Every structure is written in C-alpha cells, then in structure tokens.
Structure 1
Amino acid sequence: MNDDAVFPRVEIEGPPRERGLQYGRAVPERIAASVALYQGEMLRRGVSVPRQRELAARFVPVIGAFGADYLDEMQGIADGAGVPLEDIVLINARTEMMYGSHDAPEVQSKLVEGCTGAIILPEATRAGRLLHAHNWDWRAECADTSIVLCIRRDNAPDMLTFVEAGGLARHGFNSAGLALTGNFLQSDRDFKAPGAPLGLVRRKMLEAPNMAAALKVLWAQPRACSNNLMLSHSDGEAIDLECAPDEIFWIAPEQGLLVHANHFVSPAARVKLRDTGLATFPDSLYRDRRVRSLLAPHVGHIAREHVTAALFDTFGAPDAVLRSPKPAVFDAISATVATIIMEPASGTMQVARKPYEDPRFSEYRL
C-alpha cells in the first residue's frame, strides 16, 4: 500500500477462523464504526439493538448452510474485534436486514443505494488490458468505515476486495483474473422469500477459479432481493447479470463496453417484472447513458483517464454519476463513497476516497 493510501489495506491468510481473527484485530475501530453505522440505521427504522441481534441470529443457520467457512471467518472477525457475532452478521447481511425486516416493511420503498459501473474490454483500451470500474454510492460515513482486504488462500485464488470493515467482500478481483462489482436494483419480487446475503454470494463468486464457476455460484443460489452484478475476466470477457431473487437476466458488451447503473435494462426483465427502483433513482436513466457516451468516442484507446472522466461526470448534480453529498431517507447523507478502477491483469486496484472532494487515487496491489 502506498504511504498516502486512503483506506487501510488488511492482508489475511490461513484457515477461516484464523483469517477472521487477523482481520478483526487489524481494524477493530473501523469494524466498531461499521457496527455503529448499521445499528443506527436499524434504530432509525424502529428496530432496537436487542431485536437487531435476534434478527441477525436468524441468518446464522442460513450463512452456515451457504458456507460453514464463512460463519467461522465471521466468528473470528467478531472475536478479533471484540464484538458479538450478530454484529458481524449485521454488516454482512445489512441489505437484507435493513430492507427485509418484518419490523419495518415500509422501508422497502426507501432504498437509497446507487452505483454506476463500467467494464472496458481489452480491444477497447489503449493498453490492451481490461478495465473494470465502479462508483460506489452509499452512506457518506462509509468513507471512514471501509478497507481494502487482501485474502490469501491455499485452495482458491487470492483476492483483493474493497469492503466495509467487518464484511467478507464487496467489489474486487482475484488472482485468476475475475473481477466483480455490484449495483443496486429493486423489483416487485424482492423480500418474498429468504436467501443468502448478497455480500456472501459475491465472496463465493470471487473465490471461483474461472468465469463459468463464478456463474454457477450465482445460478445455484436464490437471493432475497434484486441486485446487479458486473462480472469480467482479464482475458477479455464480461457480462452484466441483472438478478431478481428467483431469476437472472444478462446483458453482453457492445463495442467493447458494458455500462450499468440502477435500473433493469434487459428487454426480458422489463417485460417480466416491475422495476420499483426508478421511482427512487430516475437519474439512473441518464447516468447509464452519460458514462457510455463519454467512453464511446475513445473506444480503441480508452485509458484510465477516460474512465475517470466518465465516472467523475457531474451532469445533474447532486444526482450525477459522481454523487455529491445530499440528504437521504432516515436522516442519512448519500454520496459517492469511492471510485474504484481495477485492472485484474496487472493485479492493481485504484481507489479514490470521496472523489467529489479529492480526485486523487491510491493504488493497491494483489
């Protein structure tokens, strides 16, 4: 990590419980801040801390069934950071708990997580190497609760993931060349049935040795709510996966570009389900187009500066590709927490913290 890096880099290795202990001991303050953030979010939704832990306990067998190693790792994080296991579950299942809780069903209409992502295939770049980029729009406070986590594995690819402290994965890439980012989607099928937390699905996909194995993870696992996943491989493949809880729709790159914001784009999805997120994020319609139109003139010689310019676009501010801070529901402040540009072929991730304030990037290496 560079001396001026803006997010702590944590490296862990060994068996699951030991990895978790290393993680929890490395950044206990940030983990405590993550816990406080989501406990506060739940309190503002009328869910007491004891009730939160009851709800989190319901996810323990779900997580164990999805992957016992994940539960061991989360217990290690909890022990290392000195917090209850349920608090680590809250961080890893925060979408499902915040919006799927029966204690506060009305909040399903008040989702506020944005994001704009782009993948540029090698043939469209100047250097001939795939670029996978993302603006993570969420709670502004997460600029102080996030880390870059490097996971060394004996029986799976190593990975580098940008994640909220205490989480197992969010956006990242692995040593096998796979890269993955996620965007918020919302549909009328959400929270009708339980499913594995989205963060853990991403973690398992990032453990895959190849693209087919990552896709099999996704198809094998029902989810509680919708979300969009952008999956790429450094050898020059990419696909966008619009996931409803019980069905997956896909979009292929065009002219070497794949761009996605926060609305369903697949014609099949638009026919088969109702996109309930556009009422919250109508700006998604132009954010998607803005990024694509800013990149398209440079196809064949796209470099990081072109990707940065597209993701720093301020048309429609504060409801822009680069989201400057604005009030959100339940007294929150929404903003672009970080801009992430990954080049999995070279094993690098560049991250800008609060890019609406400071456009400089720090580089992290796998």
Structure 2
Amino acid sequence: MATPAPLIEVHGTSSERGQQYGEAARDRIRLGIGHYQAQLGLSALTEADIHALVHRFLPVIAAFDGDYIPEMQGIARGAGVAFEDIVMLNARTEILKLGLKQGRPAADDDMECTGLVVTGEAAADGRLIHAQNWDWKVECAETAVVLKIRRDEGPDILTFTEAGGLARSGFNAAGIAITANYLQSDRDYRQTGVPLALIRRKVLQQDNLAHAMHAVYATPKSASNNMIVSHPAGIVIDFECAPDETFQVHPDGGILAHANHWQSPVALSKLKDTGIAATPDSLYRDLRVRSLLVPHRGRITCDTVKAALFDDFQSPRAVCRPPCLTLAGTMTATVAMVLMTPALGTMEVAMLPASDRTFTRYQLAMDAAAFQGTAEGQALRAAE
C-alpha cells in the first residue's frame, strides 16, 4: 500500500510559513533534494554547478513576487538545508533540463501527465471536477505532500506538491484551481523565465479569476508548459504556454482533456512540437479520457472521472501508468491521481494508483463570498 501524502498546515508571514513547512516536511524535503542532486550528478554537475544554475533564477523570482525568497529561505532554515536546494526544488523542471544541456549527453526522462476538467453542464450534480494523473519518477511518491496555506493577505490554498515546493496542483478558497502538464517546443530555453511551479503558486494566491489567468498568460517562462485554470462557475481555459506566447484550448460539451502534446491549431501553425518523440502515448491518452467520459455527459461523477483516469489501455504506456523504465533507465509511473471538487472544498489523492486505488481526502474551507451569484455560493451559504 502506498503511503498517503501527509497534510502540512502553515500560517503567518511568508518566512514563518516557510519555516513551519520546512520543519514539518524535513525528511521528505531532504529525500527530494538528494534525488535530484543524484540525477543532476549523472550529467557530471557538482553541487556548485547546480547552485550556479539556481542563481540564474533568483533575480527573476524576486521581481515576480518578493515574498517567495523569504518563504523559500524559511523552508531551508526549517529543513536544515541550503537555500539554493529549495530553489532547485521549485525550479526543478528548468534546472534538470539546463543541467542536461550543460552536462554530458543523456536521454530525457518521460515527464507525462493527463489533466481533465468536467464542468457543471456535464457533471451529474452540476459541480465542476478538476483532476489529473501526475506521471513522474516513482521515488516522488515518498516526497509528495499536501500543503494547506492559511493566508491573511488572500484566499487560503490547498495544493498537492513535492515537499519543499510552493505549489503544484491545487485550488484556493475562492474556487480557483490549476493543474499543469509538460509540453515541449522549439522555443524552449532561449530565455530565463519564472519557474513554472511559482507561476502555479501565483495563480492560487488570487481571489479574482482574471488575475489568476493573467499570471499564466503574461508571465515569461523558460520552457513550454500546459496549465489548466478553472472556476466552479463553469469557466475553464487550458493555456498552452510557449515561453513567450500563450494559446488557448476550451472544453467541448463541458469536457476538457489534455495530455502532453500541443492541441491549439494556432499554436501548431506557429511553433514545432518537440515532445511527441519522447511521449508518443500522449497522442492517445487524452483521446481515451474523452472517449470514456463523453458517453456519460450530464451524468459524470467523481467515480466516472476516476474510472477514466484509471484507464490501462496500452499499459504501461497508459493513462494510469504502472512503474516502468524510461529510455534513460529511470523508473517512472503515475505517481498520484489528484481529483478536486472546489465547490465542496475537497481534494482526493491516490498515490501510485496503478497498484493502489486508496484515496485520501483533504478539505479546505471555502469562501462563500467568492461564489456570489452561483449555485455553489447558495450551497455554501446554506451550509454555514
């Protein structure tokens, strides 16, 4: 049986929250740092080399949000590790790729995910469901946490992330949710942009959907990424992000599914998808999810979504992936299935779901004022 991701709750100033986080997740943070240092070491990078890569991002991070530096310093202090190692965890997508470019040649590891959103029009109870399978290294099942952030300056946040990370998948008390999955293009790594994990955190800090979407749409990035932003009122936009330009994909009949290839015709007319060669199963994973959901349109429940994400067609290269070796010789799997119903303030997570279908439920108190004028707002006020 996989170990559930522990819940860590923090509050106070950014520095105080960071220290509480670092202390509570110390062992998992150190495990994650060791894992990525070892991976970068395969490219002949020393600890000094890794820290030099990290320092490229510090001015960009500080300009993006001044609170992130003291928060990461607090995490480092609480966990008893180097500050640069916490920044590495929050920029690990970028650091891993830059490390490979700087070190000896190595085969890329698969970085796959399948995300989906079912809006109220397609759901049985009229409540939006936002979910994802996170495919990555098997070892990360032991470094994952669910972080609950109590904030005085904005909505509270519930996020599933790697220990030491400021955010990954999650939603906030205003109902704004985000998941993200890997994309590649021929525009990647021509500039130093804001690390992707910190853009997701920025989204989750917003109490206004427009501001959340601005953080995705307008923030310069180092690499391509797909970010799905939703709100329980039925607003869903899939942002296919190149480092310097953003494209949109919208739900069809209340259902949106996205794997690891570009879908926007506008995007495909302007850039080259360089990721399909490493992740060819992406081409059918989103098709499988849609085909399993469409017959239930109007009657889709959380169990329907789970069934779609458990799909094992063409296993191990499936929507739900058991442990298997990549071309680089790394063991990867669907590390976690994350299912969110923001109107209810619930997140369900199953670790290594191909072998263990046990879900752990996490709860966040929602702000009824954020849902004013919607059915969700009426339900929340009735429950108060």
TM-score (norm 2): 0.92
Cα distance in 2 between the residues matched to 1:258 and 1:104: 38
| Alignment match, 1:331 | 329
- TM-superposition CA deviations, 1:287-307 (whole Å, max 9, x none): 010000000000001011110
Distance in 1, matches of 2:293 and 2:309, equals 10
Aligned counterpart, 2:199: 201
The one-letter code of the counterpart of 1:232 is S
Aligned-pair CA distance for 1:329: 4.5
Q: Which residue of 2 aligns with 1:104?
A: 103
Q: Secondary structure at the match of 1:331?
A: coil
Q: State which drifts further: 286-295 or 330-339.
A: 330-339
Gap runs ≥5 in structure 1: none
Work out the CA distance in 1 between the residues paired with 2:360 and 2:211: 31
Query: Does the 8 Å CA contact 1:180/1:202 hold for their aligned counterparts?
Result: yes
State the one-letter code of the partner of 2:178. Answer: L
2:142 aligned partner = 144
SS of 2:102 mapped into structure 1: coil
Whole-angstrom distance in 1 between the partners of 2:159 and 2:146: 6
CA distance in 2, matches of 1:32, 1:254: 43
Deviation of 1:331 after TM superposition, in Å, equals 3.3
3-state DSSP of counterpart to 1:249: strand
Q: Partner of 2:121: helix, strand, or coil?
A: helix
Name 2:216's counterpart in structure 1: 218
1:301 partnered with 2:335: no
1:185 equivalent in structure 2: 183
> Is 1:135 paired with 2:133?
yes
Task: Find the residue that maps to 1:58 and give its secondary structure.
Answer: helix
| Post-superposition offset of 1:5 | 7.5
Counterpart in the other structure of 2:350:
352
Judged with a 3 Å threshold, the aligned counterparts in structure 2 of structure 1 residues 60 and 277 are, in CA distance, closer, same or farther, namely same
**3-state SS of 1:355 partner:** coil
Q: Distance in 1 between matches of 2:108 and 2:79?
A: 31
1:5–1:362: 8 Å Cα contact kept in structure 2?
no
Secondary structure at the counterpart of residue 177 of structure 1: coil
Deviation (angstroms), 1:47: 1.0
Q: Which residue of 2 aligns with 1:14?
A: 12
Where structure 2 has 5 or more consecutive residues not aligned to the other structure, the ranges are 365-384
Deviation per CA, 1:21-54, whole angstroms, max 9, x where unpaired?
0000111000001101111111112211221122
Q: Is the 8 A contact 1:35 1:87 kept in 2?
A: yes
State how many pairs are aligned: 362
Between the aligned partners of 1:6 and 1:37, the Cα distance in structure 2 is 20
- Residues 109 and 330 in structure 2, CA contact (< 8 A), matched pair in contact too: no
> Residues 261-292 of structure 1, C-alpha deviation per residue, up to 9 Å, x if partnerless?
00000001111110000001110011010000
- Could you tell me which residue of structure 1 aligns to residue 117 of structure 2? 119
Q: Report the secondary structure of 2:336's partner residue.
A: strand
Partner residue in 2 for 1:165:
163
Give, in whole Å, the separation in 1 of the partners of 2:287 and 2:105.
31
Residue among 274, 288, 291 paired with 1:290: 288
Q: Give RMSD over aligned pairs.
A: 1.3
Preserved CA contact (<8 Å) 1:44 1:330: no
Equivalent residue letter for 1:191:
Y
Report the Cα distance in structure 1 between the residues aligned to 2:27 and 2:297, rounded to whole angstroms: 43
Q: Residues 283, 138 of structure 1: CA spacing in aligned structure 2 closer, same or farther, 3 A cutoff?
A: same
For 2:308, the aligned partner's letter is A
Q: Which runs of 4+ in 1 moved over 4 A?
A: none
Cα distance between partner residues in 2 of 1:274 and 1:330 = 23
Q: Provide Cα deviations, 1:234-285, integer angstroms capped at 9, x if missing partner.
A: 1111010000001101011110001000000000111111000000111001
* C-alpha separation in 1, matches of 2:151 and 2:214: 20
Deviations 1:89-124 (A, max 9, x none): 1100111111023413855x7242100011000111
SS in 1 for 2:213: helix
1:65 is displaced (CA, Å) by 1.5
Displacement of 1:155 in angstroms is 1.1
| Aligned counterpart, 2:380 | none
1:73 alignment counterpart? 71
CA contact (8 A) 1:117 1:135 kept: yes
Q: Secondary structure at the match of 1:147?
A: strand
Alpha-carbon distance in 2 for matches of 1:330, 1:27: 29
Q: Provide the residue aligned with 2:35 in structure 1.
A: 37
Distance verdict in 2 for CA 1:301–1:334, change over 3 Å: same
Code of the residue aligned with 1:199 in structure 2: it is A
2:44 corresponds to which letter in structure 1? G
User: Partner of 1:280: helix, strand, or coil?
Assistant: coil
- Residue 291 of structure 2 aligns to which amino acid in structure 1? S
